[in-house]
Copies of this chain bind each other. A is one copy, B any other.
């Protein structure tokens, strides 16, 4: 059971921008920090821009920033946006589906899952743990992680 990397990256972008609300960040910068594909990230960011989560500025010295404050970005709503397939098991291809009691069980389980996510905003997630800026700042110019700061639990 997994969400797509699409959702993963979208969250990382939002978290990063939430920590840098004072300035514009270029897509190249974010891609380098996380060590992921700039091209892929660009598509995700465009999607987030179109959905209103981000604001983009074109041209020289351009970049992106959050389109709303972190307390107005709901995690559940975001995931509903980035994940489009919530057909947990392939009921659409199963012949007993109309009389199958599992469908309602899964519906209820999914509702339980989303209910938790709906309770949190990006601001809540930021507040839940310590600042991760030191981790981001440990990234070298080529995106490699400085081993001086091992990733340990706080």
Q: Which residues of A approach B to under 8 Å, CB–CB?
A: 1-3, 5, 7-8, 11-12, 15, 33-35, 75, 83, 85-90, 94-102, 104-105, 108-117, 120, 124-132, 135-136, 138-139, 145, 151-154
List 6 tightest A-B contacts by C-beta distance, closest first. A101-B128, A99-B132, A101-B125, A113-B113, A109-B116, A112-B112
User: When the two chains form the complex, which single residue of B33, B129, B145, B152 contacts A104, counting CB atoms closer than 8 Å?
Assistant: B129
Can you name 16 A-B pairs with beta carbons within 8 Å?
A1-B1, A2-B87, A15-B96, A33-B95, A35-B95, A95-B139, A96-B136, A98-B132, A100-B132, A101-B124, A101-B128, A104-B128, A104-B129, A105-B117, A109-B114, A109-B116
Q: How far is the CA of A86 from the CA of B104 in the complex (A)?
A: 22
One of B11, B104, B109 near A89 (C-beta < 8 A): B11
State the oligomeric state as a number of copies: 2
Chain B residues with CB under 8 Å of A120's CB are 105
User: Known contacts A34-B95, A116-B112, A135-B96: does B1 contact A102 (CB below 8 Å)?
Assistant: no
19 other A-B residue contacts (CB within 8 Å) besides A100-B132, A112-B112: A1-B3, A1-B83, A2-B89, A3-B89, A8-B90, A8-B94, A11-B102, A35-B95, A97-B151, A98-B153, A99-B130, A99-B135, A101-B125, A101-B126, A105-B120, A105-B124, A108-B116, A111-B116, A112-B116
